[in-house]
Structures are given as structure tokens and as C-alpha cells.
Copies of this chain bind each other. A is one copy, B any other.
Amino acid sequence: MTDKINQPLPSANRTVFFVSDGTGITAETFGHSVLTQFDMKFKQVRLPFIDTLEKAHDAVRRINEAVTPDGKRPIVFSTLVKTDLANVVFKSKGMHMDLIQTFVSPLEQELGVKSTHTIGRSHNIADSEEYKNRIEAINFSLAHDDGQSNKNLSTADVILVGVSRSGKTPTSLYLAMQYGIKAANYPLIPDDFERGKLPSALPEFKGKIFGLSIAAERLSEIRNERRPGSKYASLENCRYEINEAEAMMKREGIRWLSSTAKSIEEISTTILQEIKSDVRVY
């Protein structure tokens, strides 16, 4: 865990708080999206599980202490469901932006019903079918990482293929963890290129295979971190493997994308669209 500083940015000299009666993950995600619109550096503090009046008062104290000597007030992103807790926190000296309070009330009008104003379904998340599916998918994806197992491939939602270090493992785990997608992954290796065929377990599941490729320069860089100076990591070998893998995917009619400049979030979103799961009923 290191500081998350990508480049020197001017400091805003402001503290940002993410306050929630739950984990604070939504408040933080939401706050980040807004803050990335500003080329500034902020000190960020997450205050999760603020679910009693006492904790709410404590949060107010911490927010107030972060007002700078020259009077710059902290920025507070929050997801506070209970109105009594929200009303305490809102009395702090910070600038408040609350996701729930801002949007729930117009939605109540639109839907013609009152919101539950409870802590929300997310707190029973660990008991839900959705959650169990996610945990099951993580176990599946781990057991089917790197071609480790051919068992139960028929129950996979997607099978990722690509050369070693093209991003298959983190993408499989992300798909499982965030979306409950059972994602197996298989490496394409020189043996496969010589035979000119996909790994033998795969052809019958061609409909759910998705390929990852990557620029040779980037691949060589990544492999060199693992095995510096090896033939495996050489630019020449990376070029060979990638050419062969892309030729094979074309020949077999496998959809693929380049992971070079993409995050696992972006790769996963594209795969989700391809496997038609952008429509879900909750």
C-alpha cells in the first residue's frame, strides 16, 4: 500500500470526508468521480459505520477539527440513510453533499411511494442470493484460473483466453467479485500455436470464449518484471506469441480486445456487454 499519488498536483489544502452508515464504499466511489474533475490533491478520510447518534457527533467533531486555520472548510460526501443521523452530520462546518438525501426525495415523488429509510438492503447483503453467487463465482474463477481445471466448464459464464500476462487472471477475479460471473481462463501457449489448435477442452464452448490481447512492448515490460532478461520476456518472443494468438483467435472466430491501455474495470465492462448482461432485473 503506497500513497496513491500519480503525478504532482497542487494541494487543495482541503480534507475530504466520506461518511456513511455502511461501509462508505458508495460515498467514496461517488466522491472520487466528482473530485477527479478537479486537478487537485485532497487529503481523504473515510468514516464508515456511522450508525448511532454518538458516532454521528464524533464524525462532526472530526470534520470540524479539519477546518484549516485560514478557514477552508472540509468537503463531505455522504450516504446517510437515516434522517436523524444525517441531520446531526449536516450541522458540521463542512460543505455537505449527500447522495441519498439529494436524490431519494425526487424519486419518492416520481415513484409515488415513500422510501424505506432503513439502513437499506445492502446491510443484509451477506445473506442474499446475489452475494452467495458472487462468493461461488470467486471460488469458481480461482479453481479455473490459468487452465487449472477442465471440470464444470459448462457452467462457466465466460472463458477468457490469451497469452500469459495479458490480464486474464485479474479480469476473471473482477468479473466474479463484482458481478458474480463465473469466469474461467486459459493461457494460449507455444504448444497450442504449434498444434495450431485451441486447448482441447475449449472448442465445445466456443460461444462463450473471449480473448485478451496486448501490445508486444507492454507485454515484454510486464514479463520482464517477473523474469528479467528471459527469453519468455523478450520482445521478439512476445511478438511471436501475440501474432500467433491473434491469428488463432481470428481463425476460430473468437471475439477479443486489447488490454494494453485498459483497466480491468474497462475490460470487464466490455466483456459484460459482449456476453449480453447489461440488462439485469433486481
User: Which B residues are in CB contact (< 8 Å) with A4?
Assistant: 129-130, 133, 180, 280-282
A contact residues, range: 35 or more
In the assembled complex, the Cα of A118 lies from the Cα of B186 at a distance in Å of 37
Please choose the segment from A39-47, A197-205, A231-239, A244-252 that sits at the chain B interface, where 4 or more of its residues have CB less than 8 A away: A39-47
Query: 19 additional contacts, CB 8 Å, given A44-B282, A174-B177?
Result: A1-B133, A6-B121, A6-B128, A12-B111, A23-B268, A25-B178, A26-B29, A29-B30, A30-B33, A32-B282, A37-B81, A37-B104, A38-B111, A44-B280, A126-B261, A126-B266, A127-B261, A135-B264, A142-B145
Q: Does A194 belong to the interface (CB within 8 Å)?
A: no
Q: Does A75 belong to the interface (CB within 8 Å)?
A: yes
Pairwise interchain contact B25-A269, C-beta atoms closer than 8 A: yes
Pairwise interchain contact B38-A116, C-beta atoms closer than 8 A: yes
- From 19 to 77 in chain A, residues with beta carbon under 8 angstroms from any chain B beta carbon are 22-26, 29-30, 32-49, 75
- This chain's copy number in the assembly: 2
User: Which B residues are in CB contact (< 8 Å) with A279?
Assistant: 43-45
In the assembled complex, the Cα of A75 lies from the Cα of B135 at a distance in Å of 30
Please tell me which one of the listed residues B5, B24, B104 contacts residue A269 in the complex, with CB atoms under 8 A apart: B24
In the assembled complex, the Cα of A107 lies from the Cα of B42 at a distance in Å of 13
User: Which B residues are in CB contact (< 8 Å) with A157?
Assistant: 1
Interface string of A191-218 (1 = CB under 8 A from B): 0000000000000000000000000000
Task: Output the least CB separation between A264 and chain B (Å).
Answer: 8
- Known interface pairs A103-B34, A157-B1, A181-B1. Does A262 touch B39 (Cβ–Cβ under 8 Å)? no
Report the nearest B residue to A127, measured CB to CB. Answer: B261
In the assembled complex, the Cα of A243 lies from the Cα of B144 at a distance in Å of 33
Please tell me which one of the listed residues B33, B104, B120, B179 contacts residue A26 in the complex, with CB atoms under 8 A apart: B33
14 A–B contacts, CB within 8 A, in A order:
A4-B180, A4-B282, A5-B129, A23-B265, A23-B268, A33-B120, A33-B122, A36-B120, A36-B122, A37-B100, A48-B269, A48-B278, A97-B103, A126-B261
User: Which B residues are in CB contact (< 8 Å) with A177?
Assistant: 170, 173-174, 177, 264
User: Which B residues are in CB contact (< 8 Å) with A129?
Assistant: 2, 4-6
In the assembled complex, the Cα of A157 lies from the Cα of B12 at a distance in Å of 29
Pairwise interchain contact A23-B269, C-beta atoms closer than 8 A: yes
In the assembled complex, the Cα of A169 lies from the Cα of B48 at a distance in Å of 23
User: Which B residues are in CB contact (< 8 Å) with A121?
Assistant: 6, 36
Q: Give 5 closest A-B pairs by Cβ, nearest first.
A: A37-B115, A23-B269, A125-B263, A36-B120, A26-B33
